Chains A and B, each alone.
Chain A
Amino acid sequence: MSFTREVGRTTRVMLASVAAFPSVFRSRDSRRDFGVQLYKTGIGTLPVVTVVSLFTGMILALQVGLELRRFNQEIYLGAAVMVTLIREMAPFSCGMCLAACVGSAIAAELGTMAVNDEIAALEIMSIPPIRFLSAPRILALVLMAPVLSFFCCVVGTLGGGIVGATQLGVNFEQYMASAMSIADVKDLTTGLVKAVVFGLVIGTVSVAQGLATSLGATGVGRATQRSVIISFLLILMLGYMITRVCYQ
């Protein structure tokens, strides 16, 4: 499949799914599926997101703190960790976790349904797969990504504080005061917007790859792999673009 055709198809999946968001609440089955997707996306990824964000904050604090110590500026550790997390690292790590945990699962699930003729069966029953399968999954990602990103930021900041207090001699209260002094609405909004965009991209890419699956088990594996790779690349590229638009 050519690159332009694939981009066109993925864009159509995104537009049709967004247009179908209101229908997620229409039928009992859709509402139930949406609830399951919210749980899988939010609660299901919480352990991974917690570990990733905790260590992200700890690594950031250690790296930045060692440099700041050279200039006796450890008091700014909280601010440095917070600004990095809130603007970039929280939505980025959260996006990576969602692409790896949720996006891959969506691509594999829909891919398996495609090769088992379940997607074709829905089409014949005049139940659009975009409305029935795609919209609840993408909407769950769009809603949960900013929540998880905020959670990531909180846990990462705490992780940084622990490293600061135990290894760099920075008082925890001082660290938190420094962190809170730098956090502003624009940074928070930018981070959350990034998370929403990443959620939309991960959901769309995973659904589009899953629905286009053919060639049995090999095809399912390929669709899963492609959904993760494409999501990772788009998260990086869009992260840069949003930063550039918002801060330059």
Chain B
Amino acid sequence: MSLVVFENVKKQFSGRKVLDGLSFTIEKGEVLALVGPSGTGKSVTLKHIVRLLEPDSGRVLVDGVDVAACSRRELESIRRRVGYLFQSGALLAWMTVEENVSLPLRECTDMPEDEIDRRVAAALEAVELADAAEKYPAEISGGMQKRAGLARAIVRDSDVILYDEPTSGLDPVTSITIHRLIRKLNRDLGITSVVVTHDLQGALGFADRLLLVKDGKAVECSAPAEFAASENPVVREFLAAMKGEL
């Protein structure tokens, strides 16, 4: 059974169709890259998986549970399994990096302090941010903020991580570091990853499959080699546009 299933999901904002019958699946243990032009509903798609948004029609199933119709307890159980890396990192400004990363453990578990410290240190080590533990978000770079957000996403042993534009606004070297991290977390910890990105070149390198979303519909979902060789005119047009930008 697929880990996440989108079944004909439709979503409108102020009369504008953002998702228009979107259907696709996410398999356990894979890295899926959501690509497509701006404003086609990629981030909106991600938010449906953790019920930050609810579909107007259609269903989103996580491990067979309808996310929009499930109880508060079931939703919390789903959210506990899912880490979410926001574009901005979404760190709390008045807390240090270490306090931000430990927040879900301190607030939602009865874990002893030494275990929290051990996990936070491991998470910061995994994202190569151990040196910045005592710094505040305003004192570190955008790339470091995203890595801190990633550490917070993995500290609870999440088995799914949703990345919303993890490399937007970052320089190419930092972007490659983030891509490697995504792959490393997937390989070492078996974390299922869904990555919304504009970086097609990067996605072709780190993803197991790419899903092209256009006008709120899934146009193509395939492995990088097949995606790059696709004869679908929408895919060709998208690839050409991306190459033009590069």
Contacts and interface: CB of A to CB of B under 8 A. Distances in A.
Contact of B107 (A27, A113, A116, A123): A27
Interface string A98-129: 00000000000000010011101101111100
Interface in A171-208: none
Contacts of A27: 106-107
A125 B79 contact: yes
Nearest to B149: A121
Contact of A120 (B52, B99, B104, B108): B52
A127 B50 contact: no
B103 A127 contact: yes
A126 B52 contact: no
A243 B14 CA distance: 44
A192 B180 CA distance: 60
Nearest to A116: B88
Contacts of B88: 116-117
A124 B84 contact: yes
Contact of B82 (A28, A116, A124): A124
A127 B104 contact: yes
Contacts of A6: none
B80 A126 contact: yes
Contact of A117 (B50, B90, B94, B99): B90
Given A116-B88, A116-B90, 16 more contacts: A33-B94, A36-B94, A113-B92, A117-B86, A117-B87, A117-B90, A118-B90, A118-B91, A121-B90, A121-B149, A124-B79, A125-B79, A125-B103, A125-B107, A125-B156, A132-B107
Interface of B: 47, 50, 52, 76, 79-80, 82, 84, 86-88, 90-92, 94-95, 99, 103-104, 106-108, 149, 152, 156
